[in-house]
Structure 1
């Protein structure tokens, strides 16, 4: 069987936007960045209509002006060694087959980790793909739902991976995955529970209590709430009584 084809152009959207061709950076205008992002996030290899794409990216411009902006952006798009980043026709635009996207790799990993049954061991070694949010500094209205969707999916995948790694006795990796979820969403109780569970199975009772106390204080300071009974039950036996606070 032939080896999988590697796309020569890599578009990175996780943590920030960058494009590279054969490991060399590509310079993109802001308009080009936005076109590529819409196509990568909301269409993958499926085409977008020119009119819808132009309206999404230039919503305040008249249709003729928005269409002209799109034509100009596509014309100015880099073509490293003749490679095209986008394929366009009179009515449609899509990403070229020469472009690979880190977000797609992360989405494929999330699906594999969250599928029924235990995740494959080799996928549990790829968790670095889940370290970063989707374009965290971008504040485009059309991107907000996709940003939150990716965040929630990777949180679930990290927590599920932490559980799977703990069951395999890979406690350091399990802790890394759980702490990754905590860093992503510091007030997420289920992430803190995963950290505590790893500490408990390793017999690190003081570390488990510190993690609980950190979360308890943070929750009180930020939201004026108490931890749920579920997480209190985790650490209650360490004190010989239920945790009241």
Structure 2
């Protein structure tokens, strides 16, 4: 019996022996995603009802769960995967070998944090699994929370991979990881610094200046502030780059200074 492959990134799809398993329209995707994301974990029926059907009354939620389990067992590939230790508890515990992308993703990142010598390889493997948001075809609140948690974990892994690549002398790889992460967290200054440092160490000063100018403009437009660093801070050399708002700031300072001088003159005139 071959490995059962269950993928949650980008929406649920299942493979058996390399072949896609067709799922009928009425397949209980939310219930199966919830159970299979935590293989071997035993859940009380009451918890499943509250989590998956929070808007239904107790009796209706229990009937909805029974119907979903019945539909799930109608899928031959998964029929024996749902175990019931007793009438009140349920778990996903297939007797065959199973591989689940969200579980493998979390496992590889955890290993990377514990095995520094293998971290770069393990992080690359984990990041390769994240093809799209998890549970994309499930709209329930639990799925939204799980999706956000996995996305945050993905961002953490991208930062670790970028920082590690830069430390180990792979600036192009570091720049690539940092650029991907900026797509998710554009206001993170530590990520911007890695991106710019990587470009500088690759000898691509034009890219570094472009990255800095883009970040400075975004901060000025959205938060009315400036980066807490300059390119010279990152390369130890005088910075030839000026931000798009430098001239505006100088003009504002000059206007304020002129106003203060005029006010001083008026006060002096009044006092005499």
Residues 199 and 177 of structure 1: CA distance in aligned 2, closer, same or farther (over 3 Å) = same
- Alignment check: 8 A CA contact 2:175 2:195 kept: yes
5+ residue gaps, structure 1, are: 1-5
Which residue in 2 is equivalent to 1:187? 187
2:91 pairs with 1:94:
yes
For 2:70 and 2:203, the matched residues in 1 are separated by 61
Which residue in 2 is equivalent to 1:110? 109
For 2:186 and 2:10, the matched residues in 1 are separated by 18
Residue range with higher mean Cα deviation, 204-213 or 173-182: 173-182
TM-score, normalisation: structure 2: 0.74
Question: Cα deviations across residues 199-220 of structure 1 (Å, max 9, x unaligned)?
Answer: 1221211111111222222233
After superposition, residues 30-69 of structure 1 pair within 5 angstroms as 32-41=28-37, 43-69=38-64
Question: Cα deviations across residues 115-145 of structure 1 (Å, max 9, x unaligned)?
Answer: 4745434314413124533235754322333
- The secondary structure found in structure 2 opposite 1:19 is strand
After superposition, residues 148-187 of structure 1 pair within 5 angstroms as 148-187=148-187
TM-score, normalisation: structure 1: 0.81
For 1:159 and 1:48, the matched residues in 2 are separated by 34
Residues 12 and 218 of structure 1: CA distance in aligned 2, closer, same or farther (over 3 Å) = farther
Which residue in 2 is equivalent to 1:217? 217
Which residue in 2 is equivalent to 1:128? 128
Which residue in 2 is equivalent to 1:14? 9
Residues 109 and 82 of structure 1: CA distance in aligned 2, closer, same or farther (over 3 Å) = closer
For 2:176 and 2:117, the matched residues in 1 are separated by 18
For 1:221 and 1:232, the matched residues in 2 are separated by 23
Residues 122 and 80 of structure 1: CA distance in aligned 2, closer, same or farther (over 3 Å) = farther
Which residue in 2 is equivalent to 1:3? none
Alpha-carbon shift at residue 167 of structure 1 (Å): 2.9
5+ residue gaps, structure 2, are: 247-272
- The count of corresponding residues between Structure 1 and Structure 2 is 239
Alpha-carbon shift at residue 50 of structure 1 (Å): 1.0
Alpha-carbon shift at residue 102 of structure 1 (Å): 0.8
Larger radius of gyration: 2
Which residue in 2 is equivalent to 1:143? 143
Residue range with higher mean Cα deviation, 138-147 or 54-63: 138-147
Residues 132 and 192 of structure 1: CA distance in aligned 2, closer, same or farther (over 3 Å) = farther
For 1:82 and 1:142, the matched residues in 2 are separated by 22
For 1:72 and 1:9, the matched residues in 2 are separated by 24
- Alignment check: 8 A CA contact 1:119 1:164 kept: no
- The secondary structure found in structure 2 opposite 1:184 is coil
Alpha-carbon shift at residue 95 of structure 1 (Å): 1.6
Which residue in 2 is equivalent to 1:228? 228
